[in-house]
Each structure stands twice: as structure tokens, then as C-alpha cells.
Amino acid sequence: MAIERIENQTTRQVTFSRRRTGLFKKANELSVLCGAQIGLIIFSSTGKMFEYCSEPSRHTMG
């Protein structure tokens, strides 16, 4: 199945919101599991910015 732009604006916005939430959740999981510091910036089709930043790592290497 090819990935194509969703033409219906309402459906597209709902999908964007769900996928954005899922992406933030996965970024948080990756940060916790691997101790990675993650910054994520997403712009919607209307130009609204959404951001995620993981907590600074409590463990230092070295």
C-alpha cells in the first residue's frame, strides 16, 4: 500500500494529531530505554509548531 496524502481535511487533521501523539510517545520511550536525549519539532500544515524535549539524562558517561 502506497503512502499518499489524505485529501479530506478533517481526516488529515485527526490522523496528524494521532500520529503526532504516537511519535512523542515513541520519542519518550526511546529516551527512557536508551538514555538518549531527544528533541523533536513538528509543524502542522497550518504552521502550528509542536515540540518534545526529553529530560536531561541523570547518568553521565565518562
Per residue of the chain (62 residues), give pLDDT as tens. Answer: 899 999 999 999 999 999 999 999 999 999 999 999 999 999 998 999 999 999 876 655 54
Answer yes or no: pTM beyond 0.95: no
> Which among 40, 39, 31 is positioned nearest to 58, based on CA atoms?
31
Q: Are 53 and 24 in contact (CB under 8 A)?
A: no
Sign of CA pseudo-dihedral 29, 30, 36, 40: negative
Rounded to the nearest 10 degrees, how much is the dihedral formed by the CA atoms of 23, 28, 29, 35?
A: 140
Report pLDDT for 21: 96
Q: Which three cell numbers stand for residue 52?
A: 518534545
